[in-house]
Structure 1
């Protein structure tokens, strides 16, 4: 999560109207707006890898996959987020224009600055989405994929994929190779630009 902007105490509608005129993305949580910051190349690479595999897998199904430019509204938390990747299979979201509200799967790529927030307050907000079946955290440095699956009674079970050939997103019936998740992460960084 970025730093809060100077203007606070938006309501959801004011945030949507305000953000439509902004050059950069911002998240909204209970009246406060937080500027989004850019990501490292490896973060964008992993998000793109996961999105591409999900999009290919879901082609022809009633499900849609989105990458980080689509907003997610969590009405119960009075919040709007930009998940790295999400999938919705809900027909109400097929008609959505500015944001989706009923994802089945959310993926966040961890970074040093957001890991605690993604695991804590953001996951607490996401758990309020009735349709959410899986929440995925990807740790690039550890080459780990953590999949939290909703169980009966709103319990969440962690499946920790580290050192395994595949991870599984049961909500969309996808076995995803770990090599595909982390493809192109270890390429040499380009020379510094002048």
Structure 2
């Protein structure tokens, strides 16, 4: 067995991993990790509200998009954001047609992260920068899991990103690249705290 596949405590993490070495090392880990410039970074456990919102988004996207043209992934397929960086978004949509045995994509069209207190610095900071550097990405969404509020960045026709997020608190998020609308009522379906904080 390779030394990289041995389970190690999180306090003794390897450094300077290639993407191939990271996937090999990941096979022996009981927790989820991302790879940030060659260093594994442990991912937090999520709350039920987080999981419900992700499921709601997945359902809406699956029922609206052309599934022969696009694939929807729910946090389980890697996005390569750099030569030694791997991220796992809560929701990611990529064009269909990639090799079945592939383990990564850099062709995401839509990326969604559901916000939590522990992930906010990453979602608004390094992750946003990495995601927006992907040539194919058209829309990046950060979804508050406590109240109906979504930060939306879109790539313009000139290829440049909007300098500031559009904050959506009512109605629907429009994803032009996928020709679909994501109503906030449906995104937050089953989330009592969001219903109580609705600004409709």
Sort the TM-score into its range (normalised by shorter chain).
0.7 to 0.9
Mark the CA change 1:90 to 1:159 in structure 2 (over 3 Å): closer, same or farther. Answer: farther
CA distance in 2: counterparts of 1:127 and 1:81, whole angstroms: 13
TM-score by length of 2: 0.83
Paired with 1:4 and 1:154, the residues of 2 have a C-alpha distance of 41
Structure 1 stretches lacking a partner, 5+ long: 188-194
Which residue of structure 2 aligns with residue 12 of structure 1? Answer: 19
In structure 1, what is the Cα distance between the partners aligned to 2:35 and 2:122? 14
State the 1:61 CA deviation. 3.1
**1:47 maps to 2:54:** yes
- Please tell me whether the aligned partners of residues 73 and 101 of structure 1 are also in contact (alpha carbons under 8 angstroms): yes
Deviation at 1:112, TM superposition (A): 0.5
The alpha carbon displacement at 1:35 in A equals 1.4
Per-residue displacement from partner, 1:54-105 (whole Å, max 9, x unpaired)? 11212543100000111111135x31011000000153x3545322221000
Between Structure 1 and Structure 2, which shows a larger proportion of strand residues?
Answer: 1
Determine the structure 1 residue equivalent to 2:78: 71
Question: Aligned equivalents of 2:171 and 2:63: distance in 1?
Answer: 20
2:38 is aligned to 31
How many residue pairs were aligned?
182
TM-score normalised by structure 1 residue count:
0.85
- Note the residue ranges of structure 2 that are not aligned, 5 or more in a row: 1-9, 194-200
Q: Give the match for residue 191 of structure 1.
A: none
